Amino acid sequence: MSSPYYQEDVVAYRSLSTIKGLEWRHLKKKCRVLRLETACSRLREMAMISNVGRIMWHIELLMIIHIILILSLARDVVLVSLLPYFVVMVFTPFIMIGSMQDDVSSTMHKVISWLMASFLTFMDIFSDLLGALHRGAAYPIVPNYDHVVLLCIYMALPIAFFKVYSAYVLGFLVSLAYFCFVFYMQYRNDQVSFALLVSYAIYLFILNLIFSFFTVLRDYGLRRSILSRYQLVYQNIVYKTVMKKEKALLESILPRRMVRTLQEEICNRIEDQDKSIAPLMSTSRKLFLEPYPEVTILVADMVNYTHLTTTLEAPQLVEILHDLFVNFDLAANRNRAMRIKFLGDAYNCVAGIPNYFPAHASCCVDQALEMIQITQDISGRRSLAINLRIGVHSGEVFAGIIGHTKWQFDTWSKDVDITNHLETTGMPGLVHVSQRTLSMLDEHYVYMDGTEKARNDPILQKAGIRTYLVSSRLPDTVEPGELDNDYSNASVSSYRFSYTGSYEEIQIKAQREMMKEVEQMTVGNCFLYCKRNRSSKQKAASEEYMFNKRIHLIPGVFRRWKTEWAFHNQPDLMMKYTLLVMFCAGLAILTINWIENANYFDLYVMLGILLLLLILCFLAVFKKLRRQCKRLTPMSQPSFFLSRWLLRISERIEDSLFVRVPLTVLVLLLLYVMSSLAVFSCDVAKLELGIIDAHLHNEKSYAECFGPWTVTYSVVIVLSLLFIILGCPLLIKMTVGLLILGLHLGTIHLYYGFAFERSETTDLNLKADYAHTWYLVAFFIILVLRERHINYLKKASYFMRVCYEETHKQTDDKLRSIKIIMANILPSHVAEVYKVRRPNDQLYSETFSKVAVMFASIENFNADTAGLRILHEIICCFDDLLVNYQMRYKIEKIKVMGWTYMAACGLEADHYADFSIDIPVKRPEADSEARRSADCAFW
């Protein structure tokens, strides 16, 4: 079973580009393996509902413009012929209303799609038939919205979002209906042309092919969006799980407030380090200390400890100490005391940290009495002569950490030294307290005068400390207050974490979260959502609102050009397939022109362009073809230089925007040249004479060198390719599309208008040249509206991924800061032991056979005159020295106890030291400022 903290990024470029099969099938398999099909279905349903609303107003818009166009341009308008357009406007909402509901079955959606496609097809055909019947004479007419109806079937109607083969069947039947209509109109006019029929059939076939590939791209994008969001949700859960475990363990060692202070400082340093260009050479010497003016300190030492070390085996002695200290920690929890440290047989704790409370002296004395009782109980149970000598004093302390590595929370002050002397001059089984501490206690304690040894102690005499011995507490005591929420003092030994963090649990949680995330995903600010709960609406609206603030809605570009650049600079793994479809479109254009009896020169030119497209396709798909034979890795590149160059070119087509965009523009323009080459090479004078002669003899008035509608159909094929280009910015695609549209409209109305005026029309109320124009413009309007919507969705998905990644970056910095702190407190392998579920208070120990231990004490050090800053500097220098002793025999810092520095050699330091986790240093100016503030606080 794989680790719960690792999950392959299945949508990353490097992951998808290494698979052998088709990318969309790979994503489908991943969704099935990760049990995300329900999420995919839900997002598909949301997108479908959004598209229902859009296709309704798109159709209404086209009908309104069409009616206005006829009324503006036609002289003798046949009003009856406008009836089908009004019928479409009125009945389209009634037909599509059923697909606006969330609880409609897929069968009902398919029925609505079939009904809508049939309705649009019938109205389009019927309008032409109605006009022809009203005229009472035969007239050459071609369909007006065949391309738009096919586009709706594959891109907008609900059937396109379910099983794809249903859309294929519907698209085929609609194409067949249009083909039969064209055949009927030619037959009715006695102008049946095999070439025109075959050309029209190829046109319908290639449109079905291009729009079918769009459904593949849509499914690819939808699954990639789902998997990408799942990846982010999964990582978020893992981050929270790991952070919760790390933070809980850390707060069992250090006070929560100190953890926050350290974490904020290290996060700031990480952020500064990430922003810096040059390496930072200064050394961190910031002092992490906080003053506590009113606390009570407890110092306990075990009597006869030296005798125990000589009579008991080390494992047995460790077990006894573990039993004692675990119970001491539990008692500290009850008495609101914080354990500071323990060393050998010594145990120190403080009451009043991290938050002040008035009863700190009583709590600390209660802790001391309970510790004595615990020691006596364990001593009797184990038949050992164990007792405690305890000193308690109230005063002020500085609490925090010093040094550069291997931190330990500790306290320093003159009052701490006084407490140590109280302990050494005390009596076993009694609590040796100062007069100040006694004055803060109530009348429930039994006490007597202090020891003679304390009265003769020079340090206590100098401080004017009078001492007392507390033996017990009377019954009916006042219970201490509730534990503070901002306080954590459980020992490492008693620390337990209930969450197992197994892969299955994280995956199940991620799948549940994913269903909530799907409801929030942007589908295009459609107001037509029905029966969605209010919270889901608010969440989706908030996500969409947040995205809308980062984008210019009209042009559809990010407000920050860096984000826009990063979005477009993403690799396009589908580019190779897009080029293949473009090659098929070029092949269809060549076939249409060949059927239309184009001259040989034009055919040779088209064949040359098609050969160039084939070469480009081979270059784009070379990487994929090679991967089918042999798996590519950075260490197994092709040995032959030509193969390496081909592979590099193939990767650049996918990776580089500067290669992909010019290539796309070039291919589109070459295809446009292929579609219009027969027009450009046609002799205008000869063309006009031929048309005039045919008109005088009442014969077929088609141009001899090209068919006007054949050229228009070819241009529509080129424009339709804009739908399937993913890796090109919208502005460039629309510019190229507008350029192609403008060139062809110029061809229709300026240079070759004589030929287009005498071709078939789509509407008896429109002249043929205007019919060509509206046929193209209507398609381009839908193209612009659809592409803008698709661009909006892609950018919304990208924006949310960036937001998640920024959140993960912040979380990762926090997690890194926790790991840095943890690495400087516990050995990494010991920390890992306590981050998993362990039995209650289970002892953890290690045995080393050959160890050398060093105690280095700083003599003649007066904290009152020198200040803790000097001690901190000395300890940091000692820490830095250890870096020079990390060769064969590594010396490890153990801890600092007061003014004593402890180190050891022979602890299998590979387990203990992790110098890859280092503390980021601050900038020199920030560090100097920190020094000045620390000096002001602690000198």
State the average pLDDT over residues 866-885.
73
Backbone torsions φ then ψ of 101, nearest 5 degrees = -100, 145
Which CA distances in Å does 470 have to 432, 453, 909? 6, 16, 45
Number of residues that make up the chain: 939
Please give the pLDDT value at position 719.
95
Torsion of CA 678, 681, 682, 686, to 10 degrees: -160
pLDDT reading at 612 higher than 90: yes
Note whether 255 and 408 are within 8 A (CB): no
State the average pLDDT over residues 778-782.
93
State the average pLDDT over residues 927-935.
40
DSSP string over 697-714: TT-----SS--HHHHHHH
Cis peptide, bond prior to residue 555, ω within 30 of zero: no
DSSP string over 742-756: HHHHHIIIIISHHHH
Q: Collapsing DSSP states into helix, strand and coil, what is residue 895?
A: strand
The first and second tokens of residue 841, run together, are: 């208070």
Lowest mean pLDDT among 304-313, 343-352, 551-560, 809-818: 809-818
The first and second tokens of residue 585, run together, are: 């479109």
State the average pLDDT over residues 508-529.
72
Please give the pLDDT value at position 34.
84
- Residue 567 class from Cβ within 10 Å (0-12 exposed, 13-18 middle, 19+ buried)? middle
Nearest to 94 by CA among 71, 119, 70: 119
- On whether the pTM is more than 0.85, the answer is no
Please give the pLDDT value at position 926.
43
State the average pLDDT over residues 888-894.
71
Note whether 56 and 250 are within 8 A (CB): no
Residues 568-598 have pLDDT tens digits of 888 888 899 999 999 999 999 999 988 876 6
pLDDT reading at 286 higher than 80: no
pLDDT reading at 413 higher than 80: yes
Name the strand (E) or helix (H) holding 162.
none
The first and second tokens of residue 689, run together, are: 């004479």
Lowest mean pLDDT among 537-546, 601-610, 654-663: 537-546
Confidence class for position 554, pLDDT limits 50, 70, 90: confident
Note whether 469 and 451 are within 8 A (CB): yes
Name the strand (E) or helix (H) holding 776.
helix 768-823
Lowest mean pLDDT among 98-107, 313-322, 445-454: 98-107
Please give the pLDDT value at position 522.
77
Which CA distances in Å does 394 have to 415, 416, 473, 881? 7, 9, 19, 37
Please give the pLDDT value at position 931.
40
Backbone torsions φ then ψ of 444, nearest 5 degrees = -90, 5
Name the strand (E) or helix (H) holding 876.
helix 868-881
Lowest mean pLDDT among 1-10, 546-555, 736-745, 805-814: 1-10
Confidence class for position 714, pLDDT limits 50, 70, 90: very high
Is 680 or 924 the better-scoring residue by pLDDT? 680
Which CA distances in Å does 412 have to 153, 284, 288, 357, 488? 78, 21, 12, 20, 20
pLDDT reading at 475 higher than 90: no
Please give the pLDDT value at position 698.
57
Confidence class for position 134, pLDDT limits 50, 70, 90: low
Note whether 380 and 323 are within 8 A (CB): no
Residues 330-375 have pLDDT tens digits of 898 898 888 887 777 788 899 988 888 888 999 999 999 999 999 9
Please give the pLDDT value at position 277.
40
**What residues does 781 pair with on adjacent strands?**
none
Please give the pLDDT value at position 345.
78
Name the strand (E) or helix (H) holding 905.
strand 900-905
State the average pLDDT over residues 663-670.
94
Lowest mean pLDDT among 33-37, 162-166, 632-636, 860-864: 632-636
Distance of alpha carbon 916 from alpha carbon 824, whole angstroms: 12
Please give the pLDDT value at position 2.
39
Lowest mean pLDDT among 142-146, 283-287, 601-605: 283-287
Confidence class for position 173, pLDDT limits 50, 70, 90: very high
Confidence class for position 208, pLDDT limits 50, 70, 90: very high
State the average pLDDT over residues 514-518.
82
Distance of alpha carbon 926 from alpha carbon 272, whole angstroms: 10
State the average pLDDT over residues 404-424.
83
Backbone torsions φ then ψ of 217, nearest 5 degrees = -65, -40
State the average pLDDT over residues 38-64.
87
Note whether 424 and 390 are within 8 A (CB): no
User: What's the start-to-end Cα distance of the chain, in Å?
Assistant: 56
The mean of the pLDDT values for the chain is: 78
Cis peptide, bond prior to residue 291, ω within 30 of zero: no
Q: Return the half-sphere exposure (C-beta side, CA atoms, 13 A cut-off) of residue 934.
A: 21
Is 524 or 237 the better-scoring residue by pLDDT? 237
Choose from 530-539, 644-653, 679-688 the range with maximum mean pLDDT. 644-653
Note whether 378 and 327 are within 8 A (CB): yes
Distance of alpha carbon 715 from alpha carbon 909, whole angstroms: 73
Lowest mean pLDDT among 481-495, 548-562, 639-653: 481-495
Residues 727-779 have pLDDT tens digits of 889 999 999 999 999 999 988 887 776 677 777 888 777 888 888 999 999 99
Note whether 340 and 410 are within 8 A (CB): yes
Please give the pLDDT value at position 817.
65
**Beta-carbon count within 10 A of 473 CB:** 18
Continuous H helices in 599-707: 600-629, 641-655, 657-680, 684-696
Distance of alpha carbon 504 from alpha carbon 210, whole angstroms: 41
Nearest to 404 by CA among 890, 907, 871, 899: 871
Is 685 or 799 the better-scoring residue by pLDDT? 799
Which 8-state DSSP code applies to residue 758?
T
Distance of alpha carbon 670 from alpha carbon 131, whole angstroms: 38
pLDDT reading at 844 higher than 60: yes
pLDDT reading at 452 higher than 50: yes
Percent of the chain exceeding pLDDT 90 equals 21
